[in-house]
Structure 1
Amino acid sequence: MIINTLSKTYTTQVPISTDRTSQLGVSNKSPSVAGDTVEISKEAYKALSDSEATISRGVALIVNSINNDPEFADKMAYTYSHSRDAELIDLKDVPPLDDALRMDAYFQHVKDFESGADKIMNQRVQIYNEMKKNGASGADIFKSLMEFNKTLPADYQKNTGLDKYSDQYSKYVQAG
């Protein structure tokens, strides 16, 4: 199954039998597949995206790569420290474009969030620069950035999704 997380479209590929391939005029020299595409509900997509298994598997892959590949760890530490967090939004919470008052309030909220996220990014950059100057490895810097995330206000963590990743990161590191 192929999952396109942007379009929420799931494609399954099923082998076509030899009899069917000849009926379709497809050469029998190489295997052939036919695909079906289905659209899933917002609720199912959210459940998949928010599932603990999905998040924990992603965290495990990242942590293992950071621990076993110094070049990857250096890139992750740099990239993560120099990236601004984005606020998770539900599009149904965005006011209609023709409601100028509510749109103004919404845009002000976005500006305020981005300003706060810029300050947090600057703090991460300071952590990165200080640790790098003192000879820390990318893996150690990344671990410090993850610890820093835990100190951020709970509402900020929830609004960015950091809470889920921080929890899984802590569980994985403690178990590992």
Structure 2
Amino acid sequence: MILNSNPYQVTNAASQYQQTQAVSNKESTQASTQTDKTEQSSNEPQRKLAWEGFREKVESDPSFAAEIAEAVTFIPNKMMINLNEAPPLNDVEAFTKWASKSDEFDKEAAVVTEQRIEIYNKMKNEGATDAEIFNRIMDFNRALPLDYQVKAGMLAVDTHA
């Protein structure tokens, strides 16, 4: 599982606690919860604007589109891991089993990468622009199983959801 954290939330919550010197845990929890909700709702439009700006650059800059289309096609995904879930190093059997999950994912990622390369080559042969190829590869990525997307770090899982 990938944990999604925002350092600003942590810093802001600590600062808010120091400023208000909350009298009870209940008050502190309510303030922190409210801050998290406010920041989540205020950060969402910023993320959308950043993605739209990125997509505009892909559409308007052919050299950038070519570079990014190749990157999302040919660079294989790697499994995101949570080191907090790793077993102790002195338990060799458990650690080996845990580490082998990455090897299994690499095999799955190789198949996915080959599928992306097929899409890329087919579209290139048909004369598609790099921006069109990028958009098609992104659609392909979004259609992958959610489990794969989470393991590859394409999606962040909020542990509070």
Work out whether the TM-score is over 0.5: yes
Q: Which runs of 5+ in 1 are unaligned?
A: 1-7, 9-43, 165-176
Q: Which residue of 2 is the match for residue 96 of structure 1?
A: 88
One-letter amino acid of the counterpart of residue 133, structure 2: I
Decide which structure has greater helix share: 2
SS class of match (1:97): coil
* Corresponding residue number in structure 1 for 2:103: 111
The unaligned stretches of length 5 or more in structure 2 are: 1-6, 8-35, 157-161
CA RMSD of aligned residues (A): 2.5
Shift of 1:80: 1.1
Distance change (3 Å), C-alpha of 1:126 and 1:109:
same
Counterpart of 1:122 (choices 80, 102, 114) is 114
1:78 maps to amino acid: E
Equivalence for 1:11: none
Q: Aligned partners of 1:118, 1:55: CA distance in 2, in Å?
A: 30
Cα 1:60/1:106, change in 2 over 3 Å: same
TM-score (norm 2): 0.65
Query: For 1:64 and 1:110, how far apart are their aligned partners in 2?
Result: 35
1:97-153 CA distance string (max 9 Å, x none): 221011110121110011101110111111111101111100000010011112211
Instruction: Give distance in 1, aligned partners of 2:151 and 2:46.
Output: 19
1:46-80 superposed Cα distances (whole Å, 9 cap, x missing partner)? x99xx645643442232111011011101111111
Equivalents in 2 of 1:112, 1:137: separation in Å? 34
What is aligned with 1:171?
none
The CA distance in 2 between the partners of 1:53 and 1:87, in whole Å, is 28
CA 1:52–1:159 in structure 2 vs 1: closer, same or farther (change >3 Å)? farther
Q: What one-letter code is carried by the residue in structure 1 that aligns with 2:88? A: P
Summarize the Cα distance change of 1:110–1:128 in structure 2 as closer, same or farther, 3 Å threshold: same
Residues 73, 113 of structure 1: alpha-carbon distance in 2 compared, 3 angstrom cutoff: same
Q: 1:72 aligns with which of 49, 64, 70?
A: 64
More strand by share: 1
Superposed, 1:40-79 pairs within 5 Å as: 52=44, 55-79=47-71
Amino acid at match of 2:96: D
Number of corresponding residues = 119
Choose which of 139, 143, 159 in structure 2 pairs with 1:151.
Answer: 143
Give yes or no for the alignment of 1:133 onto 2:125: yes
